[in-house]
């Protein structure tokens, strides 16, 4: 059994290939089994949570991800999420590899966001606003590049230094990027808004979102976390990655509990979009909201893709030598 670290994942993983693999997986969900994830509260004082996420495809891969979410880590300059992924054969149960789950989560989350945007974002994206400057936010532009030509990527963060660091990183990768000093003003001019934070109060307000924009809420995955106000969630065309989002994400659980949002208000899931049951955006002026909480299916697909790419790269190196 091998360990595949974050550096190796970044080396072998093709973001566009991951988006394509997720599209195929969501279009045929019956090929995989995805039990409900388990949430365990670790420490109330630290607001820390343990998530255990299994999934398998018969005759192919069996995987389980274990993630610790420690939002207060950011005050120490550490990631808020740490995870590991055990990939095994679904034929024999034999372990194949342990992958860096933090890096895997980063890329599968960004790729799922890009997949949704391919159906929901406007055709022309002049400005893409990233709210948050963490690990997931930094992977978003590479994944979006496969589905949209983005003119300018703007970054806003509660930490101006973090925003500047990410902007410099993106520029080094050839992405046109700049810091957005004022969040609300940046929201008003953005064609696509991606929030990847651990916020507990709204950052994106309905009154600031322009007609035709796409809002991508991928950070808040517990009932205590919120990235958008209720006015936006209840007025826009609402899409989710999986139905579990209705019971896990604070952006949705709050409005549902107050009766101002119904489960039937969800227009479609990623399976509906990828499988062709729903076309996605229907009008140029339509405001679309995609709320994701992540699913073990994404992790399984990403881990299998990384392992295949790793195996192919190793074979090529062996042949070359």
The pLDDT score that the predictor gives to residue 316 is 82
| Burial of 319 from C-beta contacts in 10 A (0-12 / 13-18 / 19+) | exposed
What is the arithmetic mean of pLDDT over 29-54?
90
Given this model, what pLDDT does residue 37 score? 87
Helices (H), the chain: 6-12, 15-27, 101-120, 135-144, 160-172, 183-189, 230-235, 245-248, 250-257, 270-274, 296-320
The answer on pLDDT for 223 being more than 90 is: no
CA 30, chain centre distance (Å): 22
pLDDT given at position 136: 92
Percent of the chain residues topping a pLDDT of 70: 100
What tokens were used for 297? 């299916």
The tens digit of pLDDT for each residue in 85-109 reads 999 999 999 999 999 999 999 999 9
What's the alpha-carbon Rg for the chain, to the nearest Å? 19
Please say if the pLDDT value at position 313 is more than 90.
no
Domains of the chain: 2-104+297-320 (3.30.1780.10), 109-295 (3.40.50.720)
135-144 vs 160-172: helix axis angle to the nearest 10? 30
Strands of the sheet containing 150-156, edge to edge, are: 177-179, 150-156, 125-131, 192-195, 214-217, 288-291, 237-240, 266-269
pLDDT at site 155: 98
Q: Tell me the mean pLDDT in the region 101-121.
A: 97
Q: Are strands 38-43 and 95-100 parallel, antiparallel or unpaired?
A: unpaired
Q: How confident is the model at residue 114 (pLDDT cuts 50, 70, 90)?
A: very high
The pLDDT of 297-318, averaged and rounded, is 91
Check the CA dihedral 120-54-199-166 and report its sign: negative
Query: At 259, is the secondary structure helix, strand, or coil?
Result: coil
pLDDT in tens, 52-87: 999 999 889 999 999 998 888 878 888 777 899 999
Task: Please say whether the beta carbons of 209 and 129 come within 8 A.
Answer: no
- Parallel, antiparallel, or unpaired for β 38-43 and 48-56? antiparallel
- Which DSSP string do the residues of 66-84 spell out, in sequence order? EEEE-GGGGGGT--SEEEE
Q: Quick one: CA dihedral 231, 234, 236, 238, positive or negative?
A: positive
**pTM greater than the 0.85 cutoff:** yes
pLDDT tens digits, residue range 237-257? Answer: 999 999 999 998 999 999 999
Mean confidence (pLDDT) of the chain:
94
User: Concatenated DSSP letters for 124-141?
Assistant: -EEEEEEE--SHHHHHHH
| Mean pLDDT, range 33-46, rounded to an integer | 89
Alpha-carbon dihedral 183, 114, 291, 86, rounded to 10 degrees: -120
C-alpha dist (Å) from residue 108 to 101, 270, 301, 305, 319: 10, 14, 8, 11, 30
pLDDT at residue 45 is higher than 90: no
pLDDT at 321: 66
Q: Are 250 and 225 in contact (CB under 8 A)?
A: yes
Q: What is the per-residue pLDDT across 8-36, written as a single tens digit (0 to 9) for each?
A: 999 999 999 999 999 999 999 889 999 98
Confidence at residue 8, expressed as pLDDT on a 0 to 100 scale? 96
State the average pLDDT over residues 190-200: 95
pLDDT tens digit sequence for 264-294? 999 999 999 999 999 999 999 999 999 999 9
Q: Looking at residues 223-235, what average pLDDT do you find?
A: 94
Residue 272 CA to residue 30 CA, distance in Å, equals 13
């Amino acid at each position: 059994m091998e360990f595949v670290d974050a550096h190796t994942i970044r080396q072998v993983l093709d973001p566009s290939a991951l988006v394509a693999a997720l599209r195929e997986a969501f279009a045929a969900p019956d090929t995989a089994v995805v039990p409900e994830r388990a949430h365990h509260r670790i420490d109330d004082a630290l607001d820390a949570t343990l998530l255990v996420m299994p999934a398998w495809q018969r005759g192919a891969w069996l995987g389980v991800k274990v993630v610790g979410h420690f939002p207060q880590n950011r005050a120490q300059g550490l990631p808020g999420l740490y995870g590991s992924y055990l990939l095994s054969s679904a034929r024999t149960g034999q372990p194949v590899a342990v992958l860096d789950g933090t890096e895997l989560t980063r890329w599968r989350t960004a790729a799922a966001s890009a997949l949704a945007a391919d159906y929901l974002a406007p055709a022309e994206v002049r400005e893409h606003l990233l709210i948050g400057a963490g690990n997931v936010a930094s992977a978003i532009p590479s994944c979006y590049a496969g589905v949209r030509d983005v003119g300018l990527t703007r970054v806003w963060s509660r930490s101006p230094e973090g925003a500047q660091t990410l902007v410099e990183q993106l520029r080094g990768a050839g992405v046109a990027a700049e810091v957005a000093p004022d969040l609300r003003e940046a929201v008003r001019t953005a064609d696509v808004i991606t929030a990847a934070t651990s916020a507990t109060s709204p950052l994106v307000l309905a009154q600031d979102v322009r007609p035709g924009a796409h809002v991508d809420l991928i950070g808040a995955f517990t009932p205590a976390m919120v990235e958008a106000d209720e006015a936006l969630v209840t007025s826009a065309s609402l899409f989710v990655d999986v139905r579990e989002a209705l019971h896990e994400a604070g952006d949705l659980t709050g409005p549902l509990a107050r009766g101002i949002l119904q489960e039937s208000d969800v227009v479609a899931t990623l399976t509906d979009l990828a499988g062709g049951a729903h076309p996605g955006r229907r009008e140029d002026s339509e405001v679309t909201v995609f709320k994701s909480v992540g699913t073990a299916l994404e992790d399984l697909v990403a881990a299998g893709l990384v392992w295949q790419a790793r195996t192919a790269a190793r074979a090529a190196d062996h042949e070359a030598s």
